[in-house]
Amino acid sequence: QKEVEQDPGPLSVPEGAIVSLNCTYSNSAFQYFMWYRQYSRKGPELLMYTYSSGNKEDGRFTAQVDKSSKYISLFIRDSQPSDSATYLCAMTSGGSNYKLTFGKGTLLTVNP
Amino acid sequence: DAGVIQSPRHEVTEMGQEVTLRCKPISGHNSLFWYRQTMMRGLELLIYFNNNVPIDDSGMPEDRFSAKMPNASFSTLKIQPSEPRDSAVYFCASSLILAGGPRETQYFGPGTRLLVL
């Protein structure tokens, strides 16, 4: 079993839709959870960062972490064509471990 | 402020040739990461430097790969000899990591697209 599982999609939605992206993980030591956005032919950029369980909201984006289920989600409200990108989840246990373990990414297309 | 700079952006080479990828991290950052991204395996950490010292190279696939960081503003990833299975996008990322501090963002460069024929 891979440490981090992420459905690669592709996911195609109409503009204005609510998008739900998810990752599951197996390592209970993970405490820091991130979502990166990667546009085509660009490097990943940090979108959301969450410590431990709970929700975090930033504009149209909401990140949720459920450590009991080892499940994290990213919700995008009122999706826009500019949100079309690959979304990668990433996580780490923290402490002296700075290594991020990434999901493979989900390709999202928002159609105008 | 310039982000992470990588060169070259594209590299096409023949099997057996030496390939050198270059990275300039963000000024003031003390940590540098080399990643490889493929469709099959996703984004994989190859090596991590902290204060120019290699801390974790467990992701380096084999002896054909080597990385150096001679100073805080420059790092290289070398593949010698290159093989077709090395074809991938190689990313460099940098971060400011302080002992006992919060987890900081890794800033990625634009990547080098490597094709080994």
pLDDT tens sequence across B20-43: 999 999 999 999 999 999 988 899
Whether A56 has its CB under 8 Å from any CB of chain B: the answer is no
Residues in chain B within 8 Å Cβ distance of A43: 4, 91, 93, 108-111
Q: Residue A39's beta-bridge partner residues?
A: none
pLDDT in tens, chain B (117 residues): 689 999 999 999 999 999 999 999 999 999 999 999 998 889 999 999 999 999 989 999 889 999 999 999 999 999 999 999 999 999 999 988 776 655 667 899 999 999 999
Mean of the pLDDT values across residues A15-23? 97
For residue B98, what is the nearest residue in chain A, using CA coordinates?
A96
Q: Of B21, B25, B22, whose CA–CA distance to B94 is shortest?
A: B25
pLDDT tens sequence across A57-111: 999 999 999 999 999 999 999 999 999 999 999 998 876 667 889 999 999 999 9
Do residues A83 and A112 make contact, with C-beta atoms less than 8 angstroms apart? no
Whether B93 has its CB under 8 Å from any CB of chain A: the answer is yes
B75: left (phi over 0), alpha (psi -120 to 50) or beta: beta
Whether A29 has its CB under 8 Å from any CB of chain B: the answer is no
